[in-house]
Structure 1
């Protein structure tokens, strides 16, 4: 029994090298193609540029938040605004946001969240921010990101196609000063960003990631606004699915990346983040797919197989898989962050990252509760959210009088299924 299990685990690990090699190929091919292809030219022919409202919800002070905001204040696009949001004045980000508005009053505005309509804290802010936005293109942008100078121009150019309903950007990463942030940035580049690129290159599938996601206001309103996903944690996944399934429009992955900025994250903070992420991810996809995706992290399978039945052959598999994974991660890390140095501890960081991610993935098979920036939430299928504590039995509604929360949950489930 142990012999068979060991061989199975080693075989899975060896097989996992194949999709890793394919992913690396697609990423490098895309980067090579983009480096030689001129950027598309706008078809506006001198007409008025599309106005873009960047909606940037803040919660706490991210690493180098002031510099992140400064990046968005100086993009050079002729018709845009940055609408900053905080839940209330007690948030440490409030003073940073006020200082940004004072420094760039022509670009930035600050809005305090109005009410608390749902369980997703980010969406609660987006409901307020979208209502305050002036322009028809709504761009959701995380507070821990930076972008290149042509970021808004590409978005405007892409929306010239009326069949495009949503745009998101491949994720890369910069700024690591600690081991935890290095592992975080490795994951963002070599898993999130590489996965978006490979899905597009291999299967023409555009994966929507909410770190940077733009929608036409009319499209958002046709979906029921952000209010329709107020009790959904993976709102980017759900909106991206609805754009294509309900409206028949395209979701597009842009050419230019958006850069996740992580500088001083601890290893513990890194692990907690991806424990939460794995739970959310599992609720969005079928369990067989979730299981299959673990093959993109083959090193833990090789280690487990070797521990069960140590042998020279098993050690050879461990060495080969470890080498393949290091080559994959380091090559993609360099390709998606041109001009950025690769830290000397990147190789051991890759290996430690993969072991911790495997533990987080295993937890995601069973756990359904997350802690998101101090908010404890229960996550159900489709990333639907429920309050952390069930209501007392005596307060539960009768079958003849369902609560609004239950009706919302059922409606969301129907839409996800459809």
Structure 2
């Protein structure tokens, strides 16, 4: 039986159109559930004023961001009775040391220590900083937060609340971005309207099993149970691993109702793309099925492709209109109503553009294991382990 090339082409287009339509429907379902998850997220959990256990805040430092002083001092202004802050730096010539010394001088009433130690316990130098800092920790409850995080005065009081339950092992926080420059603004839009939507959906469907560098509150004995900082010293996503290993040990990972601020310094387009591809590849090797599953959430892209494949058909236009409408509604509900993110509120209509860029980055993340991080060339191994390749290359040259 003869089958004409036109028939084959038409059949292929139909199959592709059906697949794209299915992806659009799945994205719409995701957007709807993201809206529901954001609306049902509890922003007003009761605070027990009598629960305020002593806390040690660990702050790893590597260089000084443009607003480092303002970010770090926000942790020194807590309305909390008993807390300690331990800053940790590897390089004795690090520019962040001057900032920390000024903070110690400006806040003599706060228990602050600076640890300068070049001891390395793994490929992830940030974790080495934390391992050096924890030796000075006076208290059982540890709060870890990146140096580019800024918090309100009630931060500690709210973050520790879930730890009243002994089954809770880790508390983590969502964050909204304070971006400087159009490049980081696009990045901030994606984090607030897309990434956090996925987090809220995951939190609603099942308990989260991961944490974020924005905040990780953990008891010291639980940290020791999962192997301490050496257990995560070779992973790029150290924050993810702290939550994941705690969940594997039988403890709950709780998403706090406290939302912190993430200060994004201005950077070049190249640096931002490198950073996002690094994150993408890290997610892929850490959670491969979850990474592939993201394809079902890119409705902005798949609806546009459907419109092209169907040559501007009525179905294509209707699907694109509905998909983009639901995407924008989810972006507004999650980014503006839930997170109160200024970037999303101001540049709301740039969400589709950001989604198109994110899809390209997702495609780049599908392949390759090489990443660049703070001037170091690294390779991602199994489950997101970091393998130094710069030193290995130097050894080969010298041998």
TM-score of the superposition, structure 2-length normalised? 0.87
Match of 2:7 in 1: none
How is 1:200-211 mapped onto 2 (pairs within 5 angstroms)? 200-211=203-214
Match of 1:164 in 2: 168
- Kept in 1, the 8 Å contact 2:192–2:344? The answer is no
1:23 to 34, 41, 51: 34
Distance 1:319 1:245 in 2: 42
Residue 163 of structure 1, CA deviation:
1.9
1:306 aligns with 2:307: yes
Match of 2:379 in 1: 378
Distance 1:181 1:147 in 2: 20
Deviations 1:33-79 (A, max 9, x none): 535xx6142565xxxx4221111112233342221112111012111
Instruction: Tell me the secondary structure at the aligned position of residue 43 of structure 2.
Output: helix
Say how many residue pairs are matched. 382
Residues 347 and 297 (structure 1 numbering): CA distance in 2 closer, same or farther, change over 3 Å? same
Match of 1:411 in 2: none
Residues 157 and 292 (structure 1 numbering): CA distance in 2 closer, same or farther, change over 3 Å? closer
Residues 113 and 17 (structure 1 numbering): CA distance in 2 closer, same or farther, change over 3 Å? farther
TM-score of the superposition, structure 1-length normalised? 0.83
Distance 2:381 2:341 in 1: 41
Instruction: Tell me the secondary structure at the aligned position of residue 53 of structure 2.
Output: coil
Distance 1:295 1:259 in 2: 29
Match of 1:283 in 2: 285
Residues 320 and 270 (structure 1 numbering): CA distance in 2 closer, same or farther, change over 3 Å? farther
Residue 18 of structure 1, CA deviation:
0.7
Q: CA RMSD in A?
A: 2.5
Instruction: Tell me the secondary structure at the aligned position of residue 245 of structure 2.
Output: helix
Instruction: Tell me the secondary structure at the aligned position of residue 214 of structure 1.
Output: strand
Match of 2:263 in 1: 261
How is 1:114-133 mapped onto 2 (pairs within 5 angstroms)? 114-133=118-137
Residues 93 and 297 (structure 1 numbering): CA distance in 2 closer, same or farther, change over 3 Å? farther
- Kept in 1, the 8 Å contact 2:209–2:253? The answer is yes
Residues 132 and 164 (structure 1 numbering): CA distance in 2 closer, same or farther, change over 3 Å? same
Residue 390 of structure 1, CA deviation:
8.8
Distance 1:112 1:143 in 2: 16
Residue 174 of structure 1, CA deviation:
3.4
Residue 184 of structure 1, CA deviation:
2.2
Distance 2:47 2:209 in 1: 19
Residues 299 and 324 (structure 1 numbering): CA distance in 2 closer, same or farther, change over 3 Å? same
Gaps of 5+ in 2: 1-11
